[in-house]
Amino acid sequence: MRKIQMVDLTSQYQEIKEQVNSSISQVLDTAAFINGPEVHKFQAQLETYVGAKHVIPCANGTDALQIAMMGLGLKPGDEVITADFTFAATVEVIALLQLTPVLVDVEPDTFNIDPICIEKAITPKTKAIVPVHLFGQCANMDAILELAEKHNLFVIEDNAQAIGADYTFANGQKQKAGTIGHVSATSFFPSKNLGCYGDGGAIFTNDDELAHTIRGMVNHGMYVRYHHDVVGVNSRLDSIQAAVLNAKLPNLDEYNNKRREAAQKYSKAFDGQENIIVPRTVGRCEEICDTCNCHVFHQYTLRILNADRDALVQHLNDKGIPCGVYYPIPLHRQKAYLDERYKEADFPITNQLVKEVISLPMHTELDDEQIAYITETVLGFLNNEA
């Protein structure tokens, strides 16, 4: 059996080596390292793929979130509601801009921000909601758009984990993750579903004026060369990373299908196990289905009930199976984001999830033998414990 990895970028590279190498050497030959043709090509390809009017490439996903918030003109003291159960980047940029983060609890079955908790947290100071499409599945955007409309709030999608996913609205209409709110941020960190070979990110919006504002902001607030109209940042996707992404974007649907197939096999093997809750897909399909893209499985995350999750992690590691705990500490309990307004009773689900979740290896190169070994090892541990 091949060695199991949490993310196997080496095997994936072998499949696309020629295209990637030739795209990169073209950049080297022309020395168009910044804002070269590969960047423009990637921008146009990605706009077409996701169906967004504007894609603005930038240096990483964290910058993308920050610049999206700057572009909307959010001001110190404005309250921004986001999920307690997410990667810290989401809340970090809110705090950096001196906006006030307001963390709220998530749903137990999807791990995504709970619209009921959002509504309770809205005050006259609330200016934006940041739903995170955690682990590859969109948050409940029907409910979030409705709340945003009712209270006149911006919706900024953190789409770092769900590129390529479809969201199905209650009326049956489908739209790509990251094109639903006013603006969205995505990441091309190597292990993301569409990853480059370094750092990269992008902002999506359908709003022409906002796109213009943001295009200047990523480049020192410059709209006319050496005229600095607003305070901006230096945040660019470099041409070599764009060249990698141009080679990989045509494969994104196939990559996401492979992740979904692996997820299906995992869930089938765990079917009927009373101490495992497998990931749930929502919308049209309650099961992980073959035909729709509602979940792109950035992570395949189980909840382990009535068993020692940390002992399972140790057991898997001992058996040569890497795994992850995303996320082990709720953001409201992280030192940097403590706030006396938070009460433990406000976060029952996140507090529970951090003790139960475990993410299994998930990437495009998992084979049946590896999946069988992983599932048998998990089941063996749980059956022994019971």
**Which spans of this chain sit near ligand PLP (rule: CB under 6 A)?**
60-62, 86-87, 89-90, 132, 158, 160-161, 187, 189, 199, 201
To ligand PLP, the closest distance from the beta carbon of 184 in angstroms equals 11
Residue closest to ligand PLP, measured at CB: 61
**Which residue lies nearer to ligand PLP by CB, 160 or 371?**
160
- DSSP letters of 108-164? TTT-SBPHHHHHHH--TTEEEEE-B-GGGB---HHHHHHHHHHHT-EEEEE-TT-TT
Alpha-carbon gap, residue 269 to 265, rounded angstroms? 6
Sheet holding 79-83, edge to edge: 54-58, 201-205, 183-187, 154-158, 126-130, 79-83, 100-104
**Which residue lies nearer to ligand PLP by CB, 160 or 243?**
160
Burial 2-40 (b: 16+ CB within 10 A, else e): eebbebbeeebeeeeeebbeebbebbeeeeeeeebebbe
To ligand PLP, the closest distance from the beta carbon of 385 in angstroms equals 31
**Which residue lies nearer to ligand PLP by CB, 161 or 273?**
161
**Which residue lies nearer to ligand PLP by CB, 111 or 270?**
111
**Which residue lies nearer to ligand PLP by CB, 192 or 265?**
192
To ligand PLP, the closest distance from the beta carbon of 59 in angstroms equals 8
Burial class (CB in 10 A: 0-12, 13-18, 19+), 197: middle
To ligand PLP, the closest distance from the beta carbon of 88 in angstroms equals 8
**Which residue lies nearer to ligand PLP by CB, 87 or 255?**
87
**Distance set, CA 181 to CA 176, 185, 206, 207, 248 (Å):** 11, 10, 9, 10, 26
**Which residue lies nearer to ligand PLP by CB, 97 or 379?**
97
**Which residue lies nearer to ligand PLP by CB, 86 or 126?**
86
To ligand PLP, the closest distance from the beta carbon of 134 in angstroms equals 7
Burial class (CB in 10 A: 0-12, 13-18, 19+), 1: exposed
Ramachandran class of 306: left when φ > 0, alpha when ψ lies in -120 to 50, beta otherwise: left
Assigned token pair, 6 = 């949490």
**Which residue lies nearer to ligand PLP by CB, 235 or 370?**
235
Instruction: Report residue 111: phi and psi, to 5°.
Output: 70, 5
To ligand PLP, the closest distance from the beta carbon of 248 in angstroms equals 15
The answer to whether the beta carbons of residues 282 and 110 sit under 8 Å apart is: yes
The answer to whether the beta carbons of residues 38 and 242 sit under 8 Å apart is: yes
To ligand PLP, the closest distance from the beta carbon of 132 in angstroms equals 5
Written as one letter, the residue type at 113 is I
Closest CA to 99 of 122, 119, 125: 125
**Which residue lies nearer to ligand PLP by CB, 201 or 283?**
201
To ligand PLP, the closest distance from the beta carbon of 182 in angstroms equals 17
To ligand PLP, the closest distance from the beta carbon of 365 in angstroms equals 20
Question: Cis before residue 327, ω within 30 degrees of 0?
Answer: yes
The answer to whether the beta carbons of residues 159 and 184 sit under 8 Å apart is: yes
Written as one letter, the residue type at 137 is Q
To ligand PLP, the closest distance from the beta carbon of 275 in angstroms equals 27
